[in-house]
Amino acid sequence: MAYGGYEAANGAARRQSASQQGASRHRAIKILLAGGFGAGKTTLVGAVSEIRPLRTEEPLTESGKHVDSTVGVERKTTTTVAMDFGRITLREDLVLYLFGTPGQERFWFMWDELALGALGAVVLADTRRLADCFPAIDYFERRDIPFIIALNVFEGSRRYSIEDVRVALDLDPAVPIIMCDARSRQSAKEVLITLIEHVLSVADQPVSR
Ligand SMILES: Nc1nc2c(ncn2[C@@H]2O[C@H](COP(=O)(O)OP(=O)(O)O)[C@@H](O)[C@H]2O)c(=O)[nH]1
Ligand SMILES: [Mg+2]
């Protein structure tokens, strides 16, 4: 069911996107949400989505322990098997579809399909495990997909300045970094708005030849 659910959601977003080219005033924006295992992707989609997130959370099993590293997230008892999917109406005629990318490396094959038609991406980072978001950053940089970094601030974790994080991630100064609380709807909305503003500012720049 996991993969079928994902295909249905992705297909629906694409059909809606295609229908905008007709007379419809309605627009759909597709956004990706990436980040390491335990960074808070499922939590963020759950906080901000107005539909019950289509998620495929399964208990972590003993046999999966050697596959999914739980070091640093020992309290985590479930994992997103395929993806998180959410919908947020930004305006009456503007709907944002949020697709959580599967965290585990064995699901990399799904990313290219998922990235089709995406306007931009949020990379959710946990400062205790910053390196976990390197693969996502590499992926979006290589494909020229605009992205922002959202630092999910877990209580008790050491606070780093935005500039420290920028250096640690070797990020272009133009890439926005913001702090967030993935559990808060308002905070999650601010993350999405920051991404959309970034996408618009990138789109405004002259194409270099
Ligand atoms: N304290 C705290 N816990 C969080 C926050 N975001 C997520 N969590 C918890 O961290 C764990 C991992 O989050 P989850 O959304 O499943 O991560 P995912 O693997 O990226 O989907 C869950 O137990 C969440 O309840 C946060 O901002 N603060
Ligand atoms: Mg998850």
Q: Which residues line ligand 1 (CB under 6 A)?
A: 35, 37-43, 75-76, 80, 103, 152, 154-155, 181-183
**What pLDDT does residue 204 have?**
82
Instruction: Looking at the CA of 128, name the nearest ligand.
Output: 1
**What predicted TM-score, i.e. pTM, was given to this entire model?**
0.80
Instruction: Looking at the CA of 82, name the nearest ligand.
Output: 2
The full 3-state SS of the chain, as one line of letters, equals CHHHHHHHHHHHHHHHHHHCCCCCCCEEEEEEEEECCCCCHHHHHHHHCCCCCEEEEEECCCCCCCCCCCCCCCCCCEEEEEEEEEEEEEECCEEEEEEECCCCHHHHHHHHHHHCCCCEEEEEECHHHHHHHHHHHHHHHHCCCCEEEEEECCCCCCCCCHHHHHHHHCCCCCCCEEEECCCCHHHHHHHHHHHHHHHHHHHHCCCCC
- Is residue 122 predicted with pLDDT exceeding 90? yes
pLDDT tens-digit series, residues 146-190: 999 999 999 888 889 999 999 999 999 999 999 999 999 999 999
| Per-position b or e across 52-72, b if 16+ CB within 10 A of its CB | ebbbbeeebeeeeeeebeeee
Which residues are within 8 A (CB) of 136 and not within 5 positions of it... i.e. 6 or more apart? 34, 35, 36, 101, 121, 123, 147
The position carrying tokens 């959370």 is 57
Pocket test for ligand 1, best of 32, 41, 42, 43 (most atoms within 8 A of CB): 43
Q: Which atom of ligand 1 is nearest to the CA of 124?
A: 20
- Average confidence score pLDDT of the chain: 82
Domain locations in the chain as residue ranges? 2-204
Architecture of domain 2-204: 3-Layer(aba) Sandwich (3.40)
Residue nearest to atom 14 of ligand 1 (CA): 40
59 pLDDT band, cuts 50/70/90, is low
**What pLDDT does residue 82 have?**
56
Q: What is the share, in percent, of the chain residues with pLDDT greater than 70?
A: 69
Ligand 1 centre and the CA of 40: distance in Å?
A: 4
23 pLDDT band, cuts 50/70/90, is very low
Instruction: Looking at the CA of 55, name the nearest ligand.
Output: 2
Which residues are within 8 A (CB) of 114 and not within 5 positions of it... i.e. 6 or more apart? 10, 32, 83, 99, 101
pLDDT tens-digit series, residues 63-111: 555 555 555 565 666 665 556 889 999 888 889 999 998 766 667 788 8
